[in-house]
Structure 1
């Protein structure tokens, strides 16, 4: 998720397209997505203007290409994330939203049956 498409994000996108692996999308956000407050749902990155999705069979190559841009992103959307690294949850869900989701999970799903695709169980066991 990006608030703006900086020159280096556009350059990385162009590089990926020229590489012969054109699995790349830029989706405009806003509209109805920005009608809901950041703290009103699990998706908190409602100030982003763009969702940038790059995919391919070489995850290490993609990580190398996109990691510098990711440091300037406003977060990520878990449905488009393939990595299962627990650290990614901090990029996907801001601390206050994660705390709220964990409280809800403890009340609604105390046995953590819904634990696939970025589980938000008790801290530390993602």
Structure 2
């Protein structure tokens, strides 16, 4: 089932091996208002790739009103409890543009996952829309098309997250895109303008991450799994689930080729 969603069964139990982390970790929230968004994204991506392995980070932004630059928020974690180490490893990520605001603190790792008081109950409304892609690098071309995406006449969130680094062979699981350093996803937005701009990005992606994808159809599966992986998954479906009983969430057709 690993990496292929619900195509092969229903999980009824999980076992977890805890990975040790520092008692406290460095957590930073930085805000940027870059004059040149494409250049900022390219330089920030290069800085994150060059950062110490203990550093992971995400960018979040939404389209700005006409005539205003987009504001970018960075959420960065450093797996270290030493203040000097945290500052040293964060400093390169402040280089692409002067931060317009910043907050850096040491906090227990568990606090990063805690639900704020009063938000324990979720009240979802509407139909979510999300699309995703994986890239090895935020090249100038990728960054330029992401900047173009932010000019879409729509309301959505663009997030760029750290990916990769697990050191798992590409063919060990159904999820194959182990060399991608970044996960790119849009959350919300349903306009034709946004869809057209997103389609311009597709040729630059190395794959897709289905947990951030609401699109359906064979073209989505073709982006989510390399051809060799998809052939193996179809063979497994024909062997273990020839009738397609498990068909929720991006079903793999056992009769496909």
Q: TM-score with structure 2 length normalisation?
A: 0.43
Corresponding residue for 2:219? Answer: 87
Corresponding residue for 1:28? Answer: 162
User: Is contact 2:174-2:225 (8 Å) kept?
Assistant: yes
Q: Does 1:4 align with 2:137?
A: yes
Aligned residues: 123
For residues 1-126 of structure 1, what are the structure 2 equivalents within 5 Å? 1-17=134-150, 21-32=155-166, 35-124=167-256
Extract unaligned runs of 5+ from structure 1. Answer: none
Larger radius of gyration: 2
State the Cα distance separating 1:44 from its structure 2 match.
1.0
User: Is contact 1:2-1:73 (8 Å) kept?
Assistant: yes
Distance 2:193 2:218 in 1: 20
Give the RMSD, CA atoms, in angstroms. 2.2
State the Cα distance separating 1:11 from its structure 2 match.
3.5
If each structure's helix is expressed as a fraction of its own residues, which one has the higher value? 1
Distance 1:44 1:87 in 2: 17
Distance 1:22 1:8 in 2: 22
Distance 1:59 1:38 in 2: 35
Q: TM-score with structure 1 length normalisation?
A: 0.81
Distance 1:123 1:103, change over 3 A: same
Distance 1:17 1:64, change over 3 A: closer
- Higher mean alpha-carbon deviation, 49-58 vs 9-18, is at 9-18
Distance 1:14 1:111 in 2: 44
Distance 1:2 1:112 in 2: 32
Distance 1:46 1:61 in 2: 31
User: Is contact 2:233-2:252 (8 Å) kept?
Assistant: yes
Distance 1:124 1:103 in 2: 9
State the Cα distance separating 1:87 from its structure 2 match.
1.7
- Higher mean alpha-carbon deviation, 46-55 vs 78-87, is at 78-87
